[in-house]
Amino acid sequence: MISITLPDGSVRQYDKGITAMQIALSISEGLARNVLAAEVNGEVWDASRPIDEDSSVKLLTWNDPKGKSTYWHSSAHLLAEALEALYPGTKFGIGPAIETGFYYDVDFGDETLSSDDFKKIEDKMIELAKAKNEYIRKPVSKADAIEYFTEKGDEYKLDLIKDLPDGSITFYTQGNFTDLCRGPHIPNTGFVKAAKLMSLAGAYWRGDESRKQLTRIYGVTFPKASELTEYLHLIEEAKKRDHRKLGKELELFAFSEKVGMGLPLWLPKGTALRERLQNFLQKAQVKAGYEQVMTPHIGHKNLYVTSGHYEKYGADSFQPIRTPQEGEEFFLKPMNCPHHCEIYKTKPRSYKDLPVRLAEFGTVYRYEQSGELHGLTRVRGFTQDDAHLFCRPDQVKEEFKKVIDLVLYVFGALGFENYTAQVSLRDPENKTKYIGTDENWALAESSIIEAAAEKGLTTVVELGEAAFYGPKLDFMVKDALGRKWQLGTIQVDYNLPERFELEYTGSDNQKHRPVMIHRAPFGSMERFIAVLIEHCAGNFPLWLSPEQFIILPISEKYEDYAKKLSDELKDSDICGLIDFRDEKIGRKIRDAEVKKIPYMLIVGEKEAAEGQVSVRKHGQGDLGSMSIEEFKQQIIKEITV
Ligand SMILES: [Zn+2]
Ligand SMILES: [Zn+2]
């Protein structure tokens, strides 16, 4: 008998050679129907693979990321089986699972594939899935593996086998298709109920441009047909909300090749939006005891030698800027922290002065390869809503609680209701790779955990995920489409205070090192705005809208009245514009809808005579007539809510 420990801590006895599937069956038949694979002592295994020793076992279903990835990788085999049936002689490269779905790199020889062929392949996959063929694992010797693929004439598999040590090679067979693979896989093909091929791309064998280009086929599969429908709907919706598309349509930001790739240009409306966000956060920060500072966009090489960034990132960053006469070297600022350390050092600090909270909307520059750039989410220049808190070790918990409050205030105001936090701690097995004393780490780690618990945050704790210089708390939000984004972060740092020799005088009259906390609730303005655009599909909350109203005069005759209304609203800090174009009112309304302007104020003869406006709300329609005063009060109420 062997002992199997399950995730809830319970221990069950089974015969040696039991499989995860049999364990599932012994618990419940319903569970067994959903088991895709199992984690055995931390390694993902086939659910049908015999377990020979005492083990901890976690059954993996569709709801586990590792279960899903096993499912999608197995679907890549199913795709290959379908391709081999439809296009005999096809040669296969590799077929891994990816974040959503899977791909297979294949060589069709003279045949070329187009998306017109997808339907036929998908149908074949489902036909083969219905056969419920088991994925059968078989260890083979290197010689046998070479013989099999030599006979089949698949040079790609032979190339892979070449690098594998004898005794480590396994084949997997489902139906008539055999693949070289270390596994694991799902029990049988019957788990696949819906299949969709998404796109084609070229991919060099082993990423090497000097070798043959294969066809990469991307696909996705689901255990229920309805899940595929839902997924496709989500993709359509995500396309509509793509911040690059909406950023252009709403005239928020642009890129120019002349200015340089990955360097966003903020247009007037985008700037208005961004300034509102900044003012909103700045106001909350002032209340929370932050002081605003400003620092230059470049820093002397010595600053980064002191901070350690030069040694660590020097070669990967932008090249230095040299002065013509003095031979000085400067770098574009990759982060604001070193500058802020120097601000901290401008005067002696006492324990009574702490915490010192220095905040800056600091623009930083980081080199990213051109191929990695993506809209506002991967850029080369961006502005962090940065702040550095210099505090005593005993203040870390209180400061964390305050920062959590600030982050949650931001999320609440912007409609992110779904969020979790990750606490990253050091690896307790490997303490030497971290800087800082044991005592300080223990205090900081327990402070973060307690602060998060007291604020009622849902957290996951990850051991070994801390930076070498301190533990951290990261926030993940789920947007309206259920996609996860990492946004705000709070991070403890024992390294920079050491390197910059930061000090304060304690109550004992001795010198002490402060603890530094880096924090950015938005992360960066660019990334945050990108996520926000996609989350609200460009329909920003009224207080944030760059244009809150548009006045639509029915004809030229009412322009003076429109101007008077506009001035009156602007006096109350409500911003908007007037559509002076010589267009029909229906057209003006439609255009305003496309621009997602929250309120449309229509003025014609009746409105001008009675001192009223006829109000339409974006996405809602006609709200009827009201006086300008009534409208103003309604807007003010909505903005303050
Ligand atoms: Zn495989
Ligand atoms: Zn920092």
Q: Of 357, 472, 513, 618, which is the active-site residue?
A: 472
Ligand nearest to the CA of 340: 2
Taking the centre of ligand 1 as the mean of its atom positions, its distance from the CA of residue 70, in whole angstroms, is 8
pLDDT at 551: 96
Q: How far apart are CA 115 and CA 113, in angstroms?
A: 7
List of residues 6+ apart from 98 with CB closer than 8 A: 72, 218
pLDDT above 70 for 38: yes
Distance from Cα 60 to the centre of ligand 1, integer Å: 17
Task: Respond yes or no on whether the N-terminal peptide bond of residue 471 is cis (omega within 30° of 0).
Answer: no
Is residue 427 annotated as a catalytic residue, yes or no? no
**Cα–Cα distance, 488 to 521 (Å, whole number):** 4
Q: For 436-484, how does the pLDDT look when each residue is reduced to its tens digit (9 = 90+)? A: 788 888 888 998 999 999 999 989 999 998 888 889 999 999 888 888 8
pLDDT in tens, 343-367: 999 999 999 999 999 999 999 999 9
Which amino acid, one-letter code, is at 207? G
Model confidence pLDDT, tens digit, residues 46-104: 999 999 999 999 999 999 999 999 999 999 999 999 999 999 999 999 999 999 999 99
pLDDT digits (tens, 9 = 90+) for 206-224: 999 999 999 999 999 999 9
Q: Is 384 a catalytic residue?
A: yes
Q: pLDDT tens digits, residue range 127-143?
A: 999 999 999 999 999 99
**Ligand of minimum distance to the alpha carbon of 171:** 1
Return all residues near 63 (Cβ < 8 A) that are at least 6 apart.
none
Report whether 181 belongs to an annotated binding site: no
pLDDT of residue 16: 95
Task: Kindly tell me the sign of the dihedral angle through the C-alpha atoms of 617, 619, 620, 624.
Answer: positive
CA 335 to ligand 2 centroid distance, Å? 6
Q: Is the pLDDT of residue 488 over 80?
A: yes
The predicted model scores a pTM of 0.80
d(CA 243, CA 530): 6
CB–CB of 502/513 below 8 Å?
Answer: yes
How far is the centre of ligand 1, averaged over its atoms, from the C-alpha of 181 (Å)?
Answer: 5
Q: In this predicted structure, what is the pLDDT of residue 150? A: 96
DSSP designation for 467: B
Of all helices (H) and strands (E), which one includes residue 585? helix 585-594
Nearest ligand (C-alpha, residue 81): 1
Which ligand has an atom closest to residue 179 CA? Answer: 1
Q: Strand 599-603 to strand 549-553: parallel, antiparallel, or no bridges (unpaired)? A: parallel
Is 388 annotated as catalytic? Answer: yes
Active site residue 181: no
Task: Say whether 366 is catalytic.
Answer: yes
Helix (H) or strand (E) segment spanning residue 229: helix 225-241
Q: What whole-number distance in Å separates Cα of residue 152 and Cα of residue 28?
A: 43
pLDDT of 636 strictly over 80 = yes
Q: Which ligand ends up closest to the CA of 364?
A: 2
The pLDDT of 490-507, averaged and rounded, is 94
Beta bridge partner(s), residue 627:
612
Distance in Å, CA 270 to ligand 2 centroid: 26
pLDDT at 3 (0 to 100): 95
DSSP characters over 308-367:
SHHHHHGGGSPPPEE-TTT--EEEE-S-SHHHHHHHHTTS--BTTTPPEEEEEEEEEE--
* 241 catalytic per annotation: no
pLDDT digits (tens, 9 = 90+) for 541-578: 999 998 999 999 999 999 999 999 999 999 988 989 99
Q: Is 536 annotated as a binding residue?
A: no
pLDDT band at 582 (very low <50, low <70, confident <90, very high): very high
Ligand 2 center from residue 330 Cα (angstroms): 19
Helices (H), 362-459: 396-413, 438-454
Question: Taking 70 as the threshold, does the pLDDT of residue 8 lie above it?
Answer: yes
CA-only gyration radius of the chain, Å: 30
Per-residue pLDDT reduced to its tens digit, 224-264: 999 999 999 999 999 999 999 999 999 999 999 999 999 99
Question: Ligand 1 centroid to 170 CA: how many Å?
Answer: 10
Nearest residue to 477 (alpha-carbon basis) of 401, 538, 532: 532
The pLDDT of 595-611, averaged and rounded, is 93
Residue 519 alpha carbon to ligand 2 centre in Å: 7
The total of other beta-carbon atoms located within 10 Å of residue 143's CB is 10
Ligand showing the shortest atom-to-Cα distance for residue 337: 2
- Residue of 388, 512, 588, 616 marked active site: 388
- Ligand 2 mean position, distance from CA 535 (Å): 27
3-class secondary structure, 109: coil
- In what order do the strands lie in the sheet containing 459-463? 291-292, 356-365, 381-391, 515-520, 484-493, 472-478, 418-425, 459-463
Closest by CA position to 603, among listed 629, 627, 619, 621: 627
Half-sphere exposure of 569 (CA within 13 A, CB side): 27
Contact 613, 626 (CB under 8 A): yes
Nearest to 219 by CA among 65, 96, 61: 96
pLDDT at 641 over 70: no
Identify the active-site residue in 46, 386, 479, 579: 386
Q: Which of 107, 196, 241, 384 is catalytic?
A: 384
Instruction: Supply the DSSP string of 477-510, one letter for each residue.
Output: EE-TTS-EEEEEEEEEESHHHHHTT--EE-TTS-
Is pLDDT above 90 for 266? yes
468 Cα: distance to centroid of ligand 2 (angstroms): 14
The overall average pLDDT reported for the chain is: 93
Least distant ligand from the CA of 334: 2
The catalytic position among 124, 241, 366, 392 is 366
Pairing mode of beta strands 459-463, 511-512: unpaired
Q: What is the DSSP letter of 134?
A: B
Q: How far is CA 299 from the centre of its chain?
A: 30
How many angstroms is it from 387 CA to the middle of ligand 2?
A: 7
* Residue 183 CA to ligand 1 centre (angstroms): 5
Is residue 388 part of an annotated ligand binding site?
yes
**Each residue of 323-341: b (16+ CB within 10 Å) or e?**
eeeeeeebbbbbbbbbbbb
The pLDDT value given to residue 468? 83
With H, G, I as helix, E, B as strand and everything else as coil, classify residue 420. Answer: strand
